[in-house]
Structure 1
Amino acid sequence: MSPFRRMLRQTMTIARRDFIATVFTPIFLLFLFAPVIMGSFGAIGGLGAASVSDGAQDKARIIAIVPAGTTPVIQRGDARLRAMFRRDETPPALMTVTPRRDPAAQARAAFDAKNIDAAAVLYGPLDAPQILYGSRGVRAADYLATLAQVTLATERLGGTLPASNPTKIRMTRTGTSIGGQHQSAFFAVFGIFFLTLFLSGQVVGTMAEERNNKVIEVLAAAVPLESVFFGKLIGMFGVAVLFVAFWGTVVGQITSLLPAGAAAAIGDLTPAVGGPAFMLLFAAYFSMAYLLLGSVFLGVGAQASTMREIQMLSLPITILQVGMFGLSSAAVSRPDSWLATFAEIFPLSSPFAMAGHAANSPELWPHFAALAWQALWVTIFIAVGARLFRRGVLQSGSARPFWRRRRSSD
């Protein structure tokens, strides 16, 4: 048997061992359904925040201190202007008040009212109104200024604005749009970041237990450490693929039930390389991102011997992942810049940035070079991690690298 085939066989044996030990346990079900648990807590928190926000919005008001004759006109103008806003962007409800002896004092007193939360208050003549607003009422003040203009124009035209009956025709692009490409690029970067953040961190602790049980010494005596490291990385990557395949199937079934409007919004995400090629490249770059970050985490985590040390490593690991996400997000928003070039070349950010590159550029040849470049760095990280483990933990620094070893039969 050739050295390469022997090393491949040993690697796959370690990978199969770790995959089975991880998947065929009850804990794996908790890990598999962790997004449901996280989503449930997120939904509960979101509902609580939404109820608080809705309660505050119900009390918020914009106030117009205008004469009684102007009240119907300003209310009609308010109804006309509100039709242009989305539901979550609508200004606070309008409240009209008849002016008293001192409208300025009346406007200032509205901010101290106990039954409402005044966002902005208008008083004075409509051709030169005075508008007071609170700390979060800048947009409400702008809305009141526009409403005063509409009301003034309506009064000068005799109480009604001329009617207009426009014909609206929806157009669809025949090609990809720049906005759709940038959105696709961001979602690609975010998707890989979320998956690697959720999945690759578990690689850190894969060797701590075996170090405590002295199992790693038995494995290191039987097979090269490079095969142990790469096998463990492949095994945990198999767990990640199983997780992604399960939830990808679930999400795919859910998206088929979306309403037409949501499906159309998803259809606007148009990557430059085309949908099928983009999906293949996304899968390839997710694999490379997992292997790159996993190989780094495996090498760093192999130096830890206790769970406390592993927990201490979790913060810098998360900071590293967030940093790669931030760098790649900035890069995909500025394609063809020096920042994008740096993010595409730097090994740890390259999968993220190149996934965004696939959404922004139709060229395919850079991806073959990028995947080869990333695979090279996976090999380097594994070799360096195994060598550091051999020298620092096993105290066998004189051992030769696996590529220099000969078969015992030679």
Structure 2
Amino acid sequence: MTPFLRNILVVARRDFLSIVATPTFLLFLFAPLFMIGMGALGGFGASQLADSARGTGRVVAVVGPGDVEPLREADARLRDALPGGKPATLELRVATSGVDPVTIAQEKGRDTYAVMIGPLASPRIVEREANSRSGRYLALLATEVLRARAAGSIAPAAPRFESLTRGGTSIAAQQSIGFGAVFVIFLLTLLLAGQSVGMLAEEKGNKVIEILAAAVPLESVFLGKLIGLLGVAILFIAFWMAMAAGAGFVALTQIDPASVAQAGASAPQLAVAPATGWPFFILAAFLYFVMAFLLLGAVFLGVGAQAATVREIQMLSLPITIFQVAMLSLSSAAANAPGSRLATIAQLIPFSSPLAMAARAATDDAKAVHLLALGWQAIWVALVVYLSVRLFRSGVLSGRRDWRFWKRTKDVAADTASRR
């Protein structure tokens, strides 16, 4: 092993143990539990609110006694067949003298979206919003009843349904898998790579970084810190994957095998799998996470090398976070439009390339292109580390504020002479 690699591993081991072997790491390890708990509470409250709001909505049909049952049967036929979700609950009333649809629409206790009154051939429909879906649904019910009466007693169609034994792969499912990979990589990268900023700024404050820089090359220090933080991230992911696998195993032991077999027989035949296959996709997604982590971690290391206080860290980290959110938006758009020019642009930009290529692995079965993408991203990792080291060496270790990124030989000699 060369001294350069040995120095990298020494720094990586030091940073890895300094993070893992602390009580606060347990809080960090279980932080997703708090996030999942708060998200579950918010989702439960939102679903309860949506269910209560959905239950109070209605449409009212005030018709003659002979039209009540035909309208109820037409509603039962059409309610589950219409696209865009089920219409509001239908309430049927027998018409009496002096009934005012406006009064019915303004009744308290329930939201009334539309009221239909009068003969079905020429009903009067009062709706809350002009040309609303509820008003059109009442008109459709009236038309359906009239059409059934005009056709007479015709027996309903008796179709024979058959299932495909091999239905292929769902394109929508592949795009959903790609978008899920983009979001998970972004979330994990942003959650785990941000530690590098505070760590380097803290070591700057207590002069540890200067001791390391005097003992080993600064490139080894930066790369070692990146690899150490990557080890922490991999440990974090492995822990939660083991927890998920254990929970899934426990759940499977509580399920009746007969019900599982019955559900599998009645499940849709379109396969839910990435285009490259699950083993290659999982491996590619992991490698792209590593590259995204190294890229963002190298940028954060460069930021932490320039920042001296917590305020400066926050001010410098905010633009990077906003930039990463923009990369997430670009990669999400690319995941929803595979093969487009937008997807190609997202795959070429270094900071969105890991996310976009992970989405491509879900929709495109080409595999050799991922080797080129990983090489392209590795070049940018090396470039960002090199720039961060030069910035740190030129601006921080020199102790000057009027520093320049590239110094000529005359400038270096003049600085040395002035210090003497």
Q: CA deviation at 1:349?
A: 0.6
Q: CA deviation at 1:314?
A: 4.2
Q: CA deviation at 1:294?
A: 1.2
Instruction: Please tell me whether residue 381 in structure 1 is matched to residue 384 in structure 2.
Output: yes
Aligned counterpart, 1:186: 179
Aligned counterpart, 1:343: 346
Aligned counterpart, 2:231: 238
Work out which of the residue numbers 353, 356, 359 in structure 2 matches 1:353: 356
Identity of aligned residues (%): 47
Aligned counterpart, 2:67: 70
Instruction: Please tell me whether residue 13 in structure 1 is matched to residue 10 in structure 2.
Output: yes
Q: Taking structure 1 as reference, are residues 204 and 85 closer, same or farther at Cα in structure 2, changes over 3 Å only? A: farther
Q: Taking structure 1 as reference, are residues 174 and 391 closer, same or farther at Cα in structure 2, changes over 3 Å only? A: same
Aligned counterpart, 1:49: 46
Task: State how far apart, in whole Å, the 2-side matches of 1:126 and 1:345 are.
Answer: 61
Q: Taking structure 1 as reference, are residues 152 and 399 closer, same or farther at Cα in structure 2, changes over 3 Å only? A: closer
Task: State how far apart, in whole Å, the 2-side matches of 1:49 and 1:185 are.
Answer: 27
Task: State how far apart, in whole Å, the 1-side matches of 2:295 and 2:264 are.
Answer: 35
Return 5+ residue gaps in structure 2 as ranges: 408-420
Q: Taking structure 1 as reference, are residues 128 and 173 closer, same or farther at Cα in structure 2, changes over 3 Å only? A: farther
Aligned counterpart, 1:366: 369
Q: CA deviation at 1:296?
A: 1.2
Aligned counterpart, 1:97: 93
- Map 1:319-330 onto structure 2 (within 5 A): 319-330=322-333
Whichever residue aligns with residue 340 of structure 2, its letter is S
Structure 1 residue runs of 4 or more that deviate by more than 6 Å after TM superposition:
396-401
Aligned counterpart, 1:37: 34
Instruction: Please tell me whether residue 82 in structure 1 is matched to residue 82 in structure 2.
Output: no
Q: Taking structure 1 as reference, are residues 336 and 55 closer, same or farther at Cα in structure 2, changes over 3 Å only? A: closer
Q: Taking structure 1 as reference, are residues 209 and 95 closer, same or farther at Cα in structure 2, changes over 3 Å only? A: same
Q: Taking structure 1 as reference, are residues 134 and 315 closer, same or farther at Cα in structure 2, changes over 3 Å only? A: farther
Q: Taking structure 1 as reference, are residues 13 and 186 closer, same or farther at Cα in structure 2, changes over 3 Å only? A: same
Q: CA deviation at 1:330?
A: 1.4
Whichever residue aligns with residue 322 of structure 1, its letter is V
Task: State how far apart, in whole Å, the 1-side matches of 2:10 and 2:103 are.
Answer: 78
Aligned counterpart, 2:210: 217
SS at match of 1:96: strand
Aligned counterpart, 1:147: 141
Q: CA deviation at 1:108?
A: 2.5
| 8 Å Cα contact 1:119-1:137 kept in structure 2 | no
Task: State how far apart, in whole Å, the 2-side matches of 1:207 and 1:226 are.
Answer: 14
Whichever residue aligns with residue 117 of structure 2, its letter is Y
Q: Taking structure 1 as reference, are residues 133 and 233 closer, same or farther at Cα in structure 2, changes over 3 Å only? A: farther
Instruction: Please tell me whether residue 110 in structure 1 is matched to residue 104 in structure 2.
Output: yes
| 8 Å Cα contact 1:183-1:269 kept in structure 2 | no
Q: CA deviation at 1:161?
A: 6.1
Instruction: Please tell me whether residue 278 in structure 1 is matched to residue 278 in structure 2.
Output: no
Q: Give aligned pairs, total.
A: 394
TM-score (norm 2): 0.85
Q: CA deviation at 1:218?
A: 0.9
